[in-house]
């Protein structure tokens, strides 16, 4: 029996136009009736996620935000692991030294990028709602959840190795796309957040289902016996999962939930 389902958003639950599957809320109603908790697991911050779901549904959904740095349940943070200020400022210095990065700071009080990155604003707007500009990222106050980094030279081939060389295991650098990576405190991932949520809800690995498409989902997928990589996902991630779900543009997540949890229709690929 499934008690907990976690799904990545971009490239997984959402289609390429950033839309939920048409049947998502019908499926969520079915899960609620069965006592199954649905968790959104995303690199996005909470303010960039909650508006996607009507207010009457938000209380039913758990939000694993900022690649696991902040988990929200019933509208309140229940598991938070921020970057400490000294490490955050050291990370900014390292990014300056490496050069060629565009940065997005995800903080408790908002999402920020540099005013000088004018052309970058539209790209940020694809993922982050109501983002703000600043002349100095060191001036961002309050809790810092993560630093999202855009590296046009390639996150896997360039950005991650460059940062890992400097910080080693002191930070968790997760590749979330061809040119995107997220940097969190050591030990922070969607997987650690899912484990904390599992413990809170009393759900075992066998009672957990998870969907993802890229490397920043791997830790989470490994914690679910019923793991699904999307057909549009990275080939290496597919090899780590128990199942392949249909393409994100075909509503693969809800189709699989209907088959394996609600026992309604074929998953199919």
- Contact in structure between 243 and 227 (CB atoms under 8 Å): yes
User: Does the pLDDT at position 269 exceed 60?
Assistant: no
Tell me the pLDDT band of 198, cut-offs 50, 70 and 90. very high
Q: What local confidence, expressed as pLDDT, does residue 48 receive?
A: 80
Average pLDDT of span 214-238: 96
Cα 229 to Cα 222: distance, rounded to the nearest angstrom: 11
Per-residue pLDDT of 58-107, as tens digits, reads 999 999 999 999 999 988 889 999 999 999 999 999 999 999 999 999 99
* DSSP-assigned letter for residue 223: T
pLDDT tens digits, residue range 154-175? Answer: 999 999 999 999 999 999 999 9
- Alpha-carbon span 220 to 9, nearest angstrom: 13
CATH 3.40.190.10 fits 4-80+189-260, yes or no: no
Name the nearest CA neighbour of 193 among 220, 221, 228: 220
pLDDT of residue 127 exceeding 80, the answer is no
Q: In whole angstroms, what is the distance from residue 221 CA to residue 241 CA? A: 7
Q: Which residues of 161-195 are buried (b: 16+ CB within 10 A; e: fewer)?
A: ebbeebbeeebbbbbbbebbbbbbbeebbbbbbbb
The pLDDT of residue 74 is: 87
Over residues 47-64, the pLDDT tens digits come to 888 889 999 999 999 999
Q: Find the mean pLDDT for residues 237-264.
A: 95
Domain ranges of the chain: 4-80+189-260, 85-185
Stretch among 35-44, 200-209, 233-242, 260-269 having the lowest mean pLDDT: 260-269
Q: What share of the chain is helix, strand, coil (3-state, %, to 5)?
A: 40, 30, 35
Domain 85-185 sits in CATH at 3.30.1240.10
pLDDT of residue 268: 52
pTM of the predicted model as reported, rounded to 2 decimal places: 0.86
State yes or no: pLDDT of 129 exceeds 50. yes
pLDDT tens digits, residue range 2-36?
999 999 999 999 999 999 999 999 999 999 999 99
Looking at every residue in the chain, the average pLDDT score rounds to: 92
User: How confident is residue 119, by pLDDT bands cut at 50, 70 and 90?
Assistant: low
Of residues 225 and 132, more confidently modeled: 225
């Amino acid at each position: 029996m499934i008690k907990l389902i976690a799904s990545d958003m971009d490239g997984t639950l959402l289609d390429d136009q950033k839309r939920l599957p048409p049947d998502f809320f019908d499926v969520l109603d079915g899960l609620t009736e069965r006592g199954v908790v649905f968790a959104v697991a995303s690199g996005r911050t909470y303010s960039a996620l909650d508006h996607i779901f009507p207010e009457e549904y938000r209380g039913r959904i758990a939000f694993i935000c900022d690649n696991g740095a902040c988990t929200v349940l019933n509208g309140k943070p229940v598991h938070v692991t921020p970057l400490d200020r000294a490490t955050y400022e050291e990370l900014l210095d390292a990014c300056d030294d490496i050069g060629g990065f565009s940065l997005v700071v995800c903080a408790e009080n908002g999402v920020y990028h540099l005013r000088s990155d004018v052309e970058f604003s539209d790209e940020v707007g694809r993922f982050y709602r109501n983002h703000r500009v600043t002349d100095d990222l060191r001036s961002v106050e309050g809790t810092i959840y993560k630093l999202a980094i855009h590296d046009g030279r390639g996150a896997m081939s360039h950005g991650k190795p460059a940062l890992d060389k400097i910080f080693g295991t002191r930070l968790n650098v997760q590749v979330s796309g061809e040119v995107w990576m997220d940097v969190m405190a050591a030990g922070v991932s969607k997987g650690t957040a899912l484990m904390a949520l599992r413990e809170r809800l009393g759900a075992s690995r066998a009672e957990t289902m998870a969907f993802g498409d890229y490397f920043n989902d791997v830790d989470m997928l490994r914690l679910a016996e019923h793991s699904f990589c999307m057909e549009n996902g990275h080939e290496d991630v597919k090899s780590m999962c128990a199942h392949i779900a249909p393409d994100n543009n075909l509503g693969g997540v809800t189709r699989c939930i209907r088959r394996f949890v609600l026992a309604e229709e074929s998953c199919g690929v």
